[in-house]
Amino acid sequence: MTINPSDKIILEGMQFYGYHGVHAEERTLGQSFIVDIEIVLDLRPAGLSDDIGDTVSYSVIHAIVKGEVEGPPKSLLESLAEGIAQKVISNDLVASTKVRVRKANPPIKGAVLSTAGIEIYRTKNCDF
């Protein structure tokens, strides 16, 4: 399968409340998480057919992210992002995904910063 790596679905700034973190306070009080995702897939079939069946629905992507962030607590953002990526990449149409997960106003003693986070990239074996 040859896919144009420039074809992407992008959802930015999805915000959810979750209970992830290493510290007990994070798991008890919870906090806001911001997730951005890019999904590489061939958008040509959907562009030609105008049929949602030829692409991945934004609603499906949002539901996956929401389910992971609002689901069972994880200690690490890395684990949270990996769960999102694995569910997204399991779709047959998806070639790769980039997932960025950030904590809003992270609880780091003595630090003032708006977000702290991680970004991962996962791909299937295919020709680009």
Q: In sequence order, which residues have a C-beta less than 8 Å from that of residue 59 and are 6 or more positions away?
A: none
Q: Mark whether 87 is an active-site residue.
A: no
Q: Which residue among 74, 103, 109, 124 is the active-site one?
A: 103
At which residue do the structure tokens 């992407």 appear? 8
Are 18 and 31 a contacting pair, CB within 8 Å?
Answer: yes
CA dist 98 and 26 (Å) reads 25
* CA dist., res. 50 & res. 46, Å (int): 5
C-alpha to C-alpha distance for 50 and 34, rounded to whole angstroms? 30
Catalytic residues: 103
